[in-house]
Structure 1
Amino acid sequence: MGLAGSKEEAEAIKRRLKAFLQETLKLELSEEKTLITHASTQPAHFLGYELTVQYRDDKRDQTDRRCINGHVSLRVPTKIIENKCALYMRKNKTHHRAELMSDDDFSIISRYQSEYRGFVQYYQLAQNVSWLWKLHWVMRSSLLKTLAHKHKRSVTKMVRTYQATKETPYGPMKCLEKIVPREGKKPLVARFGGIPLRRQPQATLLDLPVTIKRKPARNELLKRLLANTCELCTSTHQVEVHHIRKLADLKKRGQAEKPQWVRVMAARRRKTLIVCRECHQAIHAGKPTRKPLGP
């Protein structure tokens, strides 16, 4: 509630509200959350925003009049940005996310983008939305380190692999992009970045920003299991999972030609393989697995 008046008037209104809640609605007014602040010196907090009244004599319009004094301003709290950045950092440094190691690159980039886009869209009304460039840098660095850690490559190589440019209403913007081509269909595109940090006064807030605390999406292994298809012979009968202890176990010396299942796991860099019962038994028996079934 905003009031153009004295502190005594504000306290009187607060007492009346407290009495109304207790007597009519049988509710208790939280003293910790119901504060009286001076909008020009101390911001009020509401739904993750800071509400302040602006006063700057040096901000003038074309007619040399002070144009922002007394205007209400919505801002992103600095603490909110710092707390969001901390989710992607360890010991004050950006860090990779180990829980995403089993996902494919497309899913990882999509995950980061959904978290970043949701946060930016929620604060489109803020006048200092451009401050979210810090969050963009932290999340981009964490994303690159996650991809680099997964592929055992340097961050620089990951930048060269996924660097792209996206056209926006405010000009081209650099981003990270992964394209998955599909035969006869439009390619799937996962992109991180490419969102202009410009204030949108007419934006409509539909929901709270996405956070990484939500239930994670199904990972790659679960998606492969749900497909219920042998990754060697394409059979859908009695599908199981074959595990190895580490990828280095695939590099055994003395083998003139590596079996099909070894080549598949090495190419995917995965310690799991979805196989049918017959192929699974053949792997453990050291026998050739079945060839892909026909249509």
Structure 2
Amino acid sequence: MITHARTGAAKFLGYEITVQHGDQRLTRGRRAVNGIVRLRVPKSVIKAASAPYLQHGNPERRTELMNFDDHTIISTYGAQYRGIVQYYLLAGDVHRLNRLRWVMQTSLLKTLAAKHRSTVSKTARRYRDKIPTPHGPRTCIQVSIDRGNGRKPLVARFGGIPLKRQRMAVLIDRPPGPGQIRRKELITRLLAGRRELCGNVNQPRSTTSTSSPTSASRDRPAPTG
């Protein structure tokens, strides 16, 4: 696309490319802004990424995820949000993705609240946590699964990424992998073969059977002569 970078934005690899111009912004008596190339997050990207989580303009739950466990739900939201944010960390206005974060987080909390038949505020208090980052602590939605035996817990997290430009960010644009059909939570629990209350493992039924005396005598051929 050929365009004048000062009056319009060229689009390349999902970014908007512009050239800054500001005669009033001086650094040590010089116009330090003029002619500097700037990367921006397109508004269309934010709109398209938010669309699956909106209904009539408001964040809405995703009913297709309600049959999964909490770890899977939060992990799914977190992976989708993290992929978009990490791709646009080179943009000077990456903070504009805060709109996407709010939409997805509200949709996530509504999905979890509907699954547990609770309210959004109670769900937020239950899963909200703070994690340290190079730019200070950040709030996120997080759940952990303790695996025991000294192993690290499985952590699913949404958010907690500082929306700050990273000049040295490395973009890794992986092609999407093949879709994986996952069983519903109830089916997974049934196939585990373990009683959840007592922890005993279900034993398969024996396939051998004993014949009763009456059936044995009934099957015996009658004497002749």
TM class by shorter chain equals 0.7 to 0.9
Structure 2 counterpart of 1:287: none
Larger Rg: 2
- Which whole-Å CA distance do the structure 2 matches of 1:71 and 1:178 have between them? 43
The 5-angstrom pairing of residues 4-43 of structure 1 reads 35-43=1-9
Secondary structure of 1:87's aligned partner: helix
Deviation, 1:221, is: 3.8
Deviation, 1:180, is: 1.1
Structure 1 counterpart of 2:62: 97
Amino acid at match of 1:55: H
Match of 2:188 among 224, 243, 247: 224
Structure 2 counterpart of 1:200: 166
Secondary structure of 1:117's aligned partner: helix
Structure 2 counterpart of 1:289: none
Amino acid at match of 1:192: F
Secondary structure of 1:186's aligned partner: coil
1:166 aligns with 2:169: no
Structure 2 counterpart of 1:75: 40
Deviations 1:73-111 (A, max 9, x none): 111101111111112101100010111011100111111
Pair 1:217–1:236, CA change in 2 (3 A) = farther
Secondary structure of 1:120's aligned partner: helix
The 5-angstrom pairing of residues 103-182 of structure 1 reads 103-182=68-147
1:85 aligns with 2:50: yes
Q: TM-score, normalised by structure 2?
A: 0.81
Deviations 1:222-265 (A, max 9, x none): 9827x95323353475xxxxxxxxxxxxxxxxxxxxxxxxxxxx
Deviation, 1:277, is: 11
- Provide structure 1 residue ranges, at least 5 long, that are not aligned to the other structure: 1-34, 238-275, 279-295
Structure 1 counterpart of 2:215: none
Preserved contact between residue 102 and residue 219 of structure 1 (Cα < 8 Å)? no
Q: TM-score, normalised by structure 1?
A: 0.63
Q: Percent identity?
A: 45
Pair 1:65–1:236, CA change in 2 (3 A) = farther
Pair 1:37–1:277, CA change in 2 (3 A) = farther
Pair 1:151–1:216, CA change in 2 (3 A) = farther
Amino acid at match of 1:82: K
- Which whole-Å CA distance do the structure 2 matches of 1:73 and 1:209 have between them? 26
Match of 2:16 among 50, 58, 63: 50
- Which whole-Å CA distance do the structure 1 matches of 2:130 and 2:21 have between them? 39
Higher relative contact order (CA 8 A, sep 6+): 2
Deviation, 1:159, is: 0.7
Deviation, 1:216, is: 5.5
Structure 2 counterpart of 1:59: 25
RMSD: 2.6
Amino acid at match of 2:123: M
Pair 1:58–1:40, CA change in 2 (3 A) = same
Residue correspondences, number: 202
Pair 1:236–1:64, CA change in 2 (3 A) = farther
Q: Runs of at least 4 residues of structure 1 off by over 4 A? A: none
- Which whole-Å CA distance do the structure 2 matches of 1:140 and 1:42 have between them? 33
